[in-house]
Amino acid sequence: MTSATSSALEPAQLNWDEQGRPESALFGDVYFSRANGLAETQYVFLQQNHLHQRWQQADLRHFTIAETGFGTGLNFLCAWQLWRQLAPAEARLHFVSVEKFPLRLADLQQALALWPELAELSAPLLQHYPCNLAGFHRLQFDQGRVTLTLMLGDAIESYQRLDAQVDAWFLDGFAPAKNPQMWQPELFQQLARLSHAHTSFSTFTAAGIVKRGLQAVGFQVEKVPGFGHKRDMLRGHFQAEMQTQTHTPQRALIIGAGIAGASCAHALAQAGWQVEVYEQAPAPAQGASGNPQGVLYLKLPKFVNLSSQLHCQGLLYSRHLLRQHLADEQGQSWQECGVIQLALHEKDRQRQLAALSSGIYPHEFVHAVEAEQASQLAQISLNQDGLYYPLAGWVNPPRFCQRLLQHDRIRCHYNSLISRITFHQGQWHLFQGQQLVAQAPILVVCNASAATAFVPCQSLPLGSIRGQVSYAKVEQLPQPGPVKVICQEGYISPARDNHYCFGASFDRSRSEAEWVEADQQENLARLGRMLPDWYDSCQTLQLQQGRASVRSTTPDHLPLVGELQPGLFLSLGHGSKGLITAPLAAEIITSQLSHAPSPVPRELSEALSPLRYQP
């Protein structure tokens, strides 16, 4: 969603034959063999890449497949099914795919209904299938055993932006004669860049342009019998010097159990790591992550930039995690109720409309609403136009953190203030006073501005912003409040546990977390400006004491994510957007440590690197 992908994605236009099989109206080609699509995938991609043999190795830890056309997802589902049957229980499958013309959800559902034998796998894919927003989408299945990174956009541009080490290529897509734009030298160059000495490939086609393109970048190519009526197909492997595979010991320490630390612990545990978390408080999420309701919230800039790319992708990934891990607590610990972002003034409204005019944001992700429509959605009188985010909502951060930390591979140590960290003989050492309490080759620091107390982090440009939220009881109000999250200068969430939560103040001049009356009154005044009609009917509003905390920020408003020194990783500076940036940041760090495909484009991971502030 930088300049490479800042254009609208067109959904696939389909025709359906008499057997109910989809065909591309644009390319005039089928998505899979008319004879038997399932058997075609198993023969062309699974068998010809020798996955049956490769996946039964006892020492297999992770395997990465990359594909050039997601289509109906049939290849992904077949690979997932075989992985379940053959791979060691502790191994992880990463499947990377790209699609320039994504199927609409209803079309995907209709297409996959052709394969009832895959229903157990297609159901979660359909449940978590992303909206039609350009960029990278990270989805996890089978308790982390299978990860799908779906890149929506042009294949060449997407693979140019990917960091990964691919073990097998599924070169799928429409035939070269019908879609020559994809089968270009630039694509083959990316295949070579992302391959290693053991990388295999297979493709349904035997076209000369494909054979010559692969050979030109270093692939050994073999022609073998094709599937069904096709006489030939291609398979082979990448010819490269043998490289010694280095495996990072899968044991890590984490400092901090807020949303950043809990997310990192969860992501690493899902990837097979043993994780120990050290938290100075008696429970998780006692600092900036401790408010009773936080909002999955973002602001769209007039032009697409790295910040909006991070926030859009992060919102969707956090939503994915919530739907997986808190599905049984919808409405109690979180709610996908939608967020209405009211324009503060006319200039702000024009900025909102300018952002929408780019055309890259699908209607199901965000769209404009006039005041009357917004009022109907929120079931409360609103006086301004704005934007509506149907997929967003609120979450109880402490409960989210608790659920993320509930994993067999995570051990939490509370009331454990780490005063010093050192590095010695390949191990990071954690001290409480003069006592060594833990050591491991990998340390992830996630304790916000407190990280600057550690010598390696002292030069980090972390600032602090104090914020305070307010509470009000539902039964004290003569008229019910909104059923959507409403944002403007501040926010108010739908009621939870018979309380409304609203705020929040932004104060750069103080770094204490004590509650103050002045901020309470500021929150109340901000609420009155945002919802004047409702506020006027609530003059008897009796506020309860709210909660104050201190957020950690950076000068460029992007978090610090990645490796600072060998074995020392950071997830810091998330500001007020931690609920939508910290979970994705955890995936970035885990992919770097596990040598797995990155969940974000290369330019974004580079922009988030803590090294950007090093001299």
Res. 560: pLDDT tops 80: yes
Overall pTM > 0.75: yes
Distance CA 343, CA 350 (A): 9
Distance CA 466, CA 512 (A): 7
Burial tier of 455 (Cβ tally within 10 Å: 0-12, 13-18, 19+): exposed
Res. 245: pLDDT tops 80: no
Asked if residue 36 lies in contact with residue 67, where contact means CB atoms within 8 angstroms, the answer is: no
Mean pLDDT of 76-100: 97
Res. 535: pLDDT tops 90: no
Q: Which positions ≥6 away from 613 have C-beta within 8 Å? A: 459, 460, 461, 560
Res. 49: pLDDT tops 70: yes
- Give pLDDT tens digits for 102-160: 999 999 999 999 999 999 999 999 999 999 999 999 999 999 999 999 999 999 999 99
Res. 4 pLDDT band, cuts 50 70 90? very low
- Give pLDDT tens digits for 405-446: 999 999 999 999 999 999 999 999 999 999 999 999 999 999
* Angle value at C-alpha 219, between 176 and 599, nearest 5 degrees: 75
Reduced to 3 states (helix: H, G, I; strand: E, B; else coil), residue 291 is coil
Predicted pLDDT at 179: 83
Mean pLDDT of 30-47: 88
Reduced to 3 states (helix: H, G, I; strand: E, B; else coil), residue 96 is strand
Predicted pLDDT at 244: 54
- Give pLDDT tens digits for 457-501: 999 999 998 999 998 887 766 778 899 999 999 999 999 988 899
* Angle value at C-alpha 446, between 445 and 448, nearest 5 degrees: 115
Distance CA 289, CA 583 (A): 13
Q: Taking all residues of the chain, what is their mean pLDDT, rounded to a whole number?
A: 92
Q: Give pairs for 476-479: CB < 8 Å, separation 24+.
A: 476/540, 476/541, 476/542, 477/538, 477/541, 478/537, 478/538, 478/540, 479/380, 479/534, 479/537, 479/538
Of the candidates 559, 593, 551, 557, the residue with the CA atom closest to the CA atom of residue 576:
551
Distance CA 264, CA 255 (A): 10
Asked if residue 38 lies in contact with residue 115, where contact means CB atoms within 8 angstroms, the answer is: yes
Res. 3 pLDDT band, cuts 50 70 90? very low
Burial tier of 475 (Cβ tally within 10 Å: 0-12, 13-18, 19+): exposed
**Three-state SS sequence of 534-572:** HHHCCCCCCEEEEEEEEEEECCCCCCEEEEEECCEEEEE
Check residues 380 and 538 and name the one with the higher pLDDT. 380
Res. 332: pLDDT tops 60: yes
Predicted pLDDT at 64: 98
**DSSP structure class, residue 463:** E
End-to-end CA distance of the chain: 29
Distance CA 489, CA 525 (A): 10
Distance CA 435, CA 422 (A): 12
Question: Is residue 450 reached through a cis peptide bond, with omega within 30 degrees of 0 on the bond before it?
Answer: no
Res. 7 pLDDT band, cuts 50 70 90? low
Mean pLDDT of 347-365: 92
Mean pLDDT of 235-248: 75
Asked if residue 443 lies in contact with residue 452, where contact means CB atoms within 8 angstroms, the answer is: no
Mean pLDDT of 307-336: 95
- Give pLDDT tens digits for 136-151: 999 999 999 999 999 9
Reduced to 3 states (helix: H, G, I; strand: E, B; else coil), residue 263 is helix
Which residues in 394-498 belong to E strands, given as ranges? 394-395, 410-413, 420-424, 427-432, 435-440, 442-445, 463-473, 485-487, 491-492
Res. 1 pLDDT band, cuts 50 70 90? very low
Distance CA 448, CA 466 (A): 13
**Three-state SS sequence of 490-518:** CEECCCECCEEEEECCCECCCCCCCCCHH
Mean pLDDT of 67-87: 97
**Of all residues in the chain, what percent carry a pLDDT higher than 90?**
79
Reduced to 3 states (helix: H, G, I; strand: E, B; else coil), residue 254 is strand
Give 341's strand partners: 387, 487
- Give pLDDT tens digits for 271-319: 999 999 999 999 999 999 999 999 998 989 888 899 999 999 999 999 9
Predicted pLDDT at 243: 62
Side chain identity, residue 433: G
| Phi and psi at residue 47, to the nearest 5° | -70, -45
Predicted pLDDT at 541: 65
Side chain identity, residue 392: A
Q: Cβ atoms within 10 A of the Cβ of 437, count? A: 16
Distance CA 53, CA 72 (A): 26
Mean pLDDT of 538-567: 88
Res. 592 pLDDT band, cuts 50 70 90? very high
Largest CA distance in the chain: 81
Res. 247 pLDDT band, cuts 50 70 90? low
